[in-house]
Amino acid sequence: MPLNSRLKNGLFWGGLVFGLYTLLALLAAGGGYVAQMGTDMPFAWTPLIRQELKDWYACGILSVGVFWFCGRNRLEPGRTGRWVGIHLMAGLVFSMVDALLTSWLVAGETSVMHPGKVLTFSYLIKTASLHYCVLNLIMYWLVVFAHLGWHYYRRYREREIQTAQLQRELVEARLSALRMQLNPHFLFNTLHAVSALIHENPEAADRVVARLSELLRLSLDQSKPQEVPLSEEMAFLDRYLDIEQIRFTDRLKVTREIDPAVQQALVPYLILQPLVENAIRHGIEPREELGHLGIHAGRHNGRLELRVTDNGAGLKSGSHASAPEGIGLSNTRSRLRHLYGEDFQFELAEASAGGLEARIEIPFHTRAGDK
């Protein structure tokens, strides 16, 4: 722990102990006042408060040592008897030392019960040692159980943190596995496009291979976080669309409607490519007419909305109806669930202008952890 942190921590606990024992001293003084209310003897506040402060501050100083001692002698499974024995002996030592220290500090004070009489060390030892010993034993065990409770609370918090870390690592591992499952699927489809072009248009096939190498480098980059800015996601998607534009030439028209206000919003990495691939494969590729692909991003009710639309046959088509979610779309749903729990929407529906619309709605945030 850094020096500044240790100093702040020490000051915090020192202030806490000082405040606690000051409060106990004032409560004890109040109890003494109540005890004398029914008598005719004059009451002196100053000597009483001074004596109680010395008494409780002595106990507080020694309690710090007891707390340290408890840290060195913790309760361990199978050694309960030894732990009890050690603290019984330590409690007796604490009680005697506190009685001696308190008597020495209070010696020379004026007696509250007998005004005019000066309390001596020997008098206090003889008359108050039993009272001090019993009270100190109680205080010792209160400190021991307080330390025990604090120790178990810290262990509980540490286990909570470890559990949270393990859960986060498990989610990260699952998300990485889901993301990696997209790569061979995407690679297979793109290589199929290359094989179709290599004889008909070698130059186009060469451009596809160049784009494919860029895409693979980005998709296989394990340093990428699970969420990236939408602008970065769109840059990746543009490379993929370059390949598809080469494949379809003039049969594919892409429209992008991206609200500038959401360019820095974080989205799951590679979340749009499976949606676009699904739209092209099922909505545009089966058609001979011009295919329209729309990519929309904006805010809706304070959340980020992503939509990918096509002008295909929509859900009425046998291809969509029989296989609504393949590897890409099922992994997309799983990734969203791992990242956002139930705080997301992902649906395939008929587009208002015909065709299919894939819609994702997730929390809007621009920094990791601000969901």
- 159 or 114: which leads in pLDDT: 159
Is 80 buried (19+), middle (13-18) or exposed (0-12) by CB count in 10 A?
Answer: exposed
pLDDT at residue number 286: 85
- pLDDT score of 172: 67
Q: Report residue 222 as tokens.
A: 């394990």
Does residue 17 contact residue 64 with C-beta atoms inside 8 Å? Answer: yes
Note the pLDDT tens digit of each residue in 221-257: 767 788 899 999 999 899 889 888 887 878 899 999 9
Residue that wins the pLDDT comparison between 197 and 58: 58
pLDDT at 320: 45
Mean pLDDT score, 321-332: 64
pLDDT at 344 over 90: yes
298 vs 321: CA distance, rounded Å: 28
More confident residue, 196 or 35: 196
Domain with CATH 3.30.565.10 in the chain: 198-363
How much is the pLDDT for 57? 84
Specify the DSSP element, H or E, that contains 346: strand 345-350
For residues 273 and 240, give the distance between their C-alpha atoms in angstroms, rounded to a whole number.
8
Alpha-carbon Rg for the chain in angstroms: 38
- Fold of the domain built from segment(s) 198-363: Heat Shock Protein 90 (3.30.565)
Parallel/antiparallel/unpaired status of strands 356-363 and 345-350: antiparallel
| Cross-strand partners of 306 | 297, 360
